[in-house]
């Protein structure tokens, strides 16, 4: 779905001052329930994880979708530690991400 959305956005140029411009999108998403532990979580925590994925998409160059596929957290306390330093958790393989590049401008 994220790939289709990025293609649709990029395929619909907008006019600015009479000039057609291509637009791109950065997207963050999660697949719930999070694997492998399928721990229940609040809407606020779920939205926070999606937001962290969006920031990674923007920090890695924009025009991409980053999805959180799995988190190695079997308790709310461990998940809170991962959230506190999400990029380090990703580097340490505690978070599995899917990174989809958007279409070329």
Tens digit of each residue's pLDDT (9 = 90 or more) over 71-81: 999 999 999 99
Segment 74-103 shows an average pLDDT of: 94
60, pLDDT greater than 60: yes
Domain that holds residue 67: 2-101
Round to whole Å and give the CA distance between 38 and 74.
8
C-alpha dist (Å) from residue 91 to 12, 21, 46, 56, 80: 35, 35, 20, 12, 16
CB count, 10 Å around CB of 74?
A: 12
Sign of CA dihedral 46, 31, 28, 22: negative
Round to whole Å and give the CA distance between 45 and 79.
9
How would residue 105 be classed by pLDDT, with cut points 50, 70 and 90? low
**Percentage of the chain lying above the pLDDT 90 cut:** 85
Total domains present in the chain? 1
């Amino acid at each position: 779905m994220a790939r289709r959305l990025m293609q649709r956005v990029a395929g619909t140029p907008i006019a600015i001052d009479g000039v057609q411009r291509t637009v791109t999108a950065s997207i963050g998403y999660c697949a719930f329930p999070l694997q492998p532990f399928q721990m229940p979580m609040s809407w606020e925590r779920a939205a926070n994880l999606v937001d962290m994925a969006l920031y990674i998409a923007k920090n890695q160059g924009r025009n991409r979708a980053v999805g959180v596929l799995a988190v190695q957290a079997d308790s709310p306390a461990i998940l809170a530690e991962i959230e506190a330093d999400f990029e380090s958790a990703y580097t340490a393989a505690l978070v599995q991400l899917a990174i989809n590049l958007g279409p070329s401008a």
